[in-house]
Chains A and B, each alone.
Chain A
């Protein structure tokens, strides 16, 4: 046998025992080691006990297990014998902790040190991480290797704050169960929510001020990045560049140890599958925020393209989100208005039926609808006119604007009267130039009439602008949102002032000292090059008026929705070579389809939907994925930019998520569900 000739210390060959050397520690060749006397019949559990006895040190060993280096395998089955594992004396074994610290780069780009399982399949390890971070639906996330650093200065990163959750142990206590095998550690104990102050913070974050700060980092949106930094971060310039990211995904079915990850390594945590199930702002503050952050960085770093108009909306939402989260009014989940929690309902109620408020309100407000009366300069652009702004006495009542030659004529017939309901309101502002104009496009049966109102200062502008905006939506200044609208406009104007409007073309580094924002931090760098800050702000301001009334979570959700509405949303790119083709092409994988894309032009060549998919196979030998669709359509390709395992897992992952989707209706009609999803007897 393999044991023949083994010499033991006592020289006794009869019991067929032999010496097994086990290093203590994490794959460190210098590590101390213990030598045990074992037989092939020894159980792993017994070996573990012996090791601990041998080390003879008071310590919690419960998380320790044996890693077999040559086979890249954990010996987690404590009832298995060495023979069963096939371990001989030459095995290099390490007795080390199953959970080890790693630095996670979160979707919000912040760094967080925590203990991750190095022995469970990554899928479970990620689930545990998400439980710790209190992110539901961990199946949507996964880990990537960090990209290799280019050796370039970057001393800055040294100063970066790394949050630490390594000391936090979940109530489920999986850290202590490690020794007993991976299955037991999966106790799905939901972390209890911390109800104190109604922050919705899970209890395990309340251990210390540090962990509490960590929760805030997780659950609150980060301020906009420094525009200069933004310019220097790598951005994909082509589809091929976009494939790079996806070559770095770790395998879900193998543990970190098996994938060569070492303690202290940096890993990225990202939403991998763009199919976000049951996104609930109420219960998901961390998930929502991190998703928002991933979406935001996707846009800022041009991982996903959008139009200028869309970018302005994204910028306005970022501005708004930042303002709300800076102002600290984060306690909104527990906030006064439970109706606001149901976001969509609240939104539509607001927009659709504002008039429908309580009858008493209407009656009260009837008597006290505020008016605006003032001298404003008015300009009506017409063909063949040389007239510029003329001073008028302007009265703004309900949704109607009337103007007169002078105040004295006011009770009489106005020169013109405009009902602003349904009109377009466009800010035309230049703070440094002290220009505060409101451009109105007022619809009438004949078309749109254009009119400019010029205000003297920001105060006046904010009041009239807010009135115009409300009126365009059919609301009056009696509306409860009027005051906050005025404030929002003023706040935005102050942004504009500090936003480098005067500092010209280049983003001048971090404007962080001021309370305002640099608008360049809100848009992709390509727009930094295209627009001056003072051109950018009014456009953001314009987009902002449609979102100014949103709460923090609403704004985040709106951002995510707008992101999801982009045509290229949720496509993960891979370079592949289709069978029978001689050139590289791009394969896009989305949550419902595969897309064949011309690498050079970027055009979609062909789309296959998962719903038409029958099966798929991987030939690991030639790294080829073969897929069969309905009607005997067969597609095969080999993977170039990433391992075909990653491609394959992406596809399988989306299929999995889609069954999850269907399961939603399960409680309602299980039979129908089974009828529709079953049927494999047929094969």
Chain B
């Protein structure tokens, strides 16, 4: 009981935010559920989890009450809001209304509002300034409306319930924002219902869930979709629009949304060397991997994700490909490139010009295959699957690939995600880090700080511990500087060689451009030692 009521409370706090900018959103898509009778199932706009009507029905009665109360409060608020939609930024403080007001503020700053209204300013969505959603402090906020608890006569109840649903639907229709009630499965087999509107990204939903669950908010938490029928699953990327993804599910789907921790989600940012420095000698690579210090990781990430274009990990090797429509698997040599997955045709070399394109990522998502050994007679269980998000049933258009081991699988899945999502993935990670309370300066993201003040410290007491943590981190780093400083140049020349006639035999090194360029040149070391590399620094 306790949990479910809290659950619902949270759901309403979410709802409050959704009314934001009702009219500005698409507007076209009226709530799908009530009655759409699509001409043909195939093109039908189908919503997962039955439809809203059903999902409302499935709610506990008191949930409904709360939902209603929220909706009402919500709508009135929304009306006010549309009037002053332009000045939305300062908005939040004006509302002196019920406890919802504070909730509302949080939700309103989800970032979409800024987006829609200020489109001409070209506000970049992943820009991070909008503070993380829903900084709801009063953790168990008392359900706003007096919970009517005379539940005795079933008929009366049913009637009331029906009315409420009707009213709720009307209000929602008014809102004209597509919303879904999503049942999210928790680790402990419990479920929580969330209202998700069409503007919300997975990140927002995660933030809501963080509040509901009081989990540690670490970056591994993710929304996860599973397809029991196809036996595939994958995590939502934080920037993905949840409603859009769920809209591809069929009406009678068994698919589920899970809330769980997956360390694979951002593995590349924690240990980029495992993906980017995968040198030939596998064993050797692994050993040195463990040792990479934070500074090197950082520069590796910056190099890979912060340049003019991102770098996709070099990845190639033999994989098994399930043949279309058959249960046989063929071994082929595949290569990952930014533009897609390629394979080496028979009798050809793996030079670029000979490669044949296997698939490009624009229209496919990547999934993990589950128990493919049994289901598809795969050589191993380390499979990944590529399919168009709309495909929900077994089809020849679903591509199954099988790796030799888990490590390879993870590298491919991550590599493909990097190729497909690019810098967005890194942005997501940094946002997740910020949310996790680890605002980090060394990730070179100035804007992170902007989010922290708005984060009113429930469990994650804001900035302070973070910084001290970072400091000590930096301290410990300094011990490893010898490994991370830029290579130094040693020189036996004392003057910058006016004559430019090099004395033969005098080993001379690193005449770095003596330019008057701003940044300090790398350490230039003068040593009077004659030839041979300078002695190892000690």
Contact with A along B477-518 (1 / 0, CB 8 A): 110011111111110000000111010111111111111111
A655→B486 contact, CB < 8 A: yes
Interchain CA distance A416-B41 in the complex, whole Å: 11
Q: How far is the CB of B527 from chain A (nearest CB, A)?
A: 10
In the assembled complex, B309 has its CB within 8 A of some CB on chain A: yes
Residues of A within 8 A of B340 (CB): 309
B357→A308 contact, CB < 8 A: yes
A665→B522 contact, CB < 8 A: no
Of chain A, the residue at the smallest CB distance from B279 is A607
A123→B338 contact, CB < 8 A: no
Contact with B along A665-683 (1 / 0, CB 8 A): 1101100100111111011
Q: Which of A363-418 contact B (CB under 8 A)?
A: 363, 366, 400, 413-414, 416-418
In the assembled complex, A59 has its CB within 8 A of some CB on chain B: no
B474→A606 contact, CB < 8 A: no
Residues of B within 8 A of A613 (CB): 486-487
| A444 CB contact (under 8 Å) in B302, B390, B487, B531 | B390
In the assembled complex, B406 has its CB within 8 A of some CB on chain A: no
Interchain CA distance A663-B442 in the complex, whole Å: 13
In the assembled complex, A620 has its CB within 8 A of some CB on chain B: yes
Residues of A within 8 A of B531 (CB): 619
In the assembled complex, A512 has its CB within 8 A of some CB on chain B: no
B280→A659 contact, CB < 8 A: no
Contact with B along A300-317 (1 / 0, CB 8 A): 000001111110010000
Q: Which of B248-280 contact A (CB under 8 A)?
A: 248, 250, 277, 279-280
Known A-B contacts A310-B339, A362-B28, A611-B299; the reply to A447 vs B391 at CB < 8 A is yes
Q: How far is the CB of A358 from chain B (nearest CB, A)?
A: 6
B390→A617 contact, CB < 8 A: no
In the assembled complex, B157 has its CB within 8 A of some CB on chain A: no
Residues of A within 8 A of B482 (CB): 679, 682
Interchain CA distance A448-B389 in the complex, whole Å: 11
Residues of B within 8 A of A359 (CB): 23-24, 27, 116
In the assembled complex, B337 has its CB within 8 A of some CB on chain A: yes
| Max count, chain B CB within 10 A of own CB: residue among A309, A562, A609, A683 | A683
In the assembled complex, A195 has its CB within 8 A of some CB on chain B: no
A339→B339 contact, CB < 8 A: no
Interchain CA distance A620-B491 in the complex, whole Å: 12
Interchain CA distance A648-B534 in the complex, whole Å: 17
In the assembled complex, A352 has its CB within 8 A of some CB on chain B: yes
A352→B444 contact, CB < 8 A: no
Known A-B contacts A659-B521, A680-B488; the reply to A444 vs B391 at CB < 8 A is yes
B339→A669 contact, CB < 8 A: no
Residues of B within 8 A of A159 (CB): none
In the assembled complex, B363 has its CB within 8 A of some CB on chain A: yes
Q: Which of A305-349 contact B (CB under 8 A)?
A: 305-310, 313, 339-340, 342, 344-346, 348-349
Residues of A within 8 A of B514 (CB): 121, 123, 253
A443→B489 contact, CB < 8 A: no
In the assembled complex, B312 has its CB within 8 A of some CB on chain A: yes
In the assembled complex, B89 has its CB within 8 A of some CB on chain A: no
Contact with B along A636-677 (1 / 0, CB 8 A): 000000000000100011011011111111101100100111
Residues of B within 8 A of A72 (CB): 500
In the assembled complex, A568 has its CB within 8 A of some CB on chain B: yes
Residues of A within 8 A of B398 (CB): 447
In the assembled complex, A79 has its CB within 8 A of some CB on chain B: no
Q: Which of B287-326 contact A (CB under 8 A)?
A: 288, 295-296, 299-300, 302-303, 307-312, 314
In the assembled complex, B2 has its CB within 8 A of some CB on chain A: no
A339→B121 contact, CB < 8 A: yes
Stretch at the interface among A165-173, A458-466, A574-582, A624-632: A624-632
Contact with B along A596-619 (1 / 0, CB 8 A): 000000101111011111111111
Of chain B, the residue at the smallest CB distance from A341 is B122
| A564 CB contact (under 8 Å) in B127, B308, B392, B525 | B308
Interchain CA distance A188-B517 in the complex, whole Å: 11
B484→A676 contact, CB < 8 A: yes
Contact with B along A177-188 (1 / 0, CB 8 A): 000000000101
In the assembled complex, B148 has its CB within 8 A of some CB on chain A: no
B308→A652 contact, CB < 8 A: no
A567→B43 contact, CB < 8 A: no
Q: How far is the CB of B509 from chain A (nearest CB, A)?
A: 5
B537→A614 contact, CB < 8 A: yes
Q: Which of B344-364 contact A (CB under 8 A)?
A: 351-353, 355, 357, 360, 362-363
A611→B122 contact, CB < 8 A: no
In the assembled complex, A39 has its CB within 8 A of some CB on chain B: no
A307→B119 contact, CB < 8 A: no
Known A-B contacts A611-B299, A614-B537; the reply to A445 vs B393 at CB < 8 A is yes
In the assembled complex, B388 has its CB within 8 A of some CB on chain A: yes
| B124 CB contact (under 8 Å) in A349, A560, A661 | A349
Interchain CA distance A443-B362 in the complex, whole Å: 13
In the assembled complex, B536 has its CB within 8 A of some CB on chain A: yes
Residues of B within 8 A of A310 (CB): 337, 339, 352
| A609 CB contact (under 8 Å) in B277, B342, B498 | B277
Known A-B contacts A139-B517, A416-B40, A567-B352; the reply to A620 vs B508 at CB < 8 A is yes
Contact with B along A104-146 (1 / 0, CB 8 A): 0000000000000000010110010000000000010000000
Q: Which of A406-445 contact B (CB under 8 A)?
A: 413-414, 416-419, 422, 424, 443-445
Interchain CA distance A541-B326 in the complex, whole Å: 34
Q: How far is the CB of A586 from chain B (nearest CB, A)?
A: 14
| Max count, chain B CB within 10 A of own CB: residue among A186, A566, A615, A632 | A615
Known A-B contacts A359-B23, A400-B43, A626-B533; the reply to A447 vs B393 at CB < 8 A is yes
Known A-B contacts A628-B536, A656-B513; the reply to A362 vs B27 at CB < 8 A is yes
| B28 CB contact (under 8 Å) in A366, A618, A632 | A366
Residues of A within 8 A of B362 (CB): 546
In the assembled complex, B441 has its CB within 8 A of some CB on chain A: yes
In the assembled complex, A537 has its CB within 8 A of some CB on chain B: no
A614→B396 contact, CB < 8 A: no
Known A-B contacts A353-B125, A359-B116; the reply to A565 vs B484 at CB < 8 A is no
B508→A634 contact, CB < 8 A: no
A445→B363 contact, CB < 8 A: no
Of chain B, the residue at the smallest CB distance from A302 is B353
Residues of B within 8 A of A610 (CB): 487
Residues of A within 8 A of B457 (CB): none
Contact with A along B11-45 (1 / 0, CB 8 A): 00000000000011111100000000001101101
B502→A309 contact, CB < 8 A: no
Residues of B within 8 A of A313 (CB): 339
In the assembled complex, A561 has its CB within 8 A of some CB on chain B: yes
Of chain A, the residue at the smallest CB distance from B360 is A309
In the assembled complex, B115 has its CB within 8 A of some CB on chain A: yes
Q: Which of B325-343 contact A (CB under 8 A)?
A: 337-340, 342
B519→A616 contact, CB < 8 A: no
Residues of B within 8 A of A658 (CB): 486
In the assembled complex, B153 has its CB within 8 A of some CB on chain A: no
Residue contacts A-B, CB under 8 angstroms, 27 given? A279-B308, A305-B351, A306-B353, A308-B353, A340-B122, A356-B116, A363-B27, A443-B389, A445-B250, A446-B393, A447-B398, A557-B308, A561-B308, A567-B337, A610-B487, A613-B487, A621-B507, A626-B533, A628-B536, A634-B533, A652-B511, A656-B521, A661-B302, A672-B441, A675-B477, A677-B520, A682-B481
The 10 closest A-B pairs by CB, nearest first: A447-B395, A339-B122, A445-B392, A565-B338, A305-B352, A561-B309, A443-B390, A663-B519, A613-B487, A345-B124
Extra A-B contacts (7), CB below 8 Å, given A417-B42, A561-B308, A564-B307: A123-B515, A358-B116, A445-B248, A446-B392, A610-B487, A617-B490, A680-B525
Binding site for A on B (CB under 8 A): 23-28, 39-40, 42-43, 45, 112, 115-116, 119-127, 248, 250, 277, 279-280, 288, 295-296, 299-300, 302-303, 307-312, 314, 337-340, 342, 351-353, 355, 357, 360, 362-363, 388-393, 395-398, 441-442, 444, 446, 474, 477-478, 481-490, 498-500, 502, 504-523, 525, 531-534, 536-537
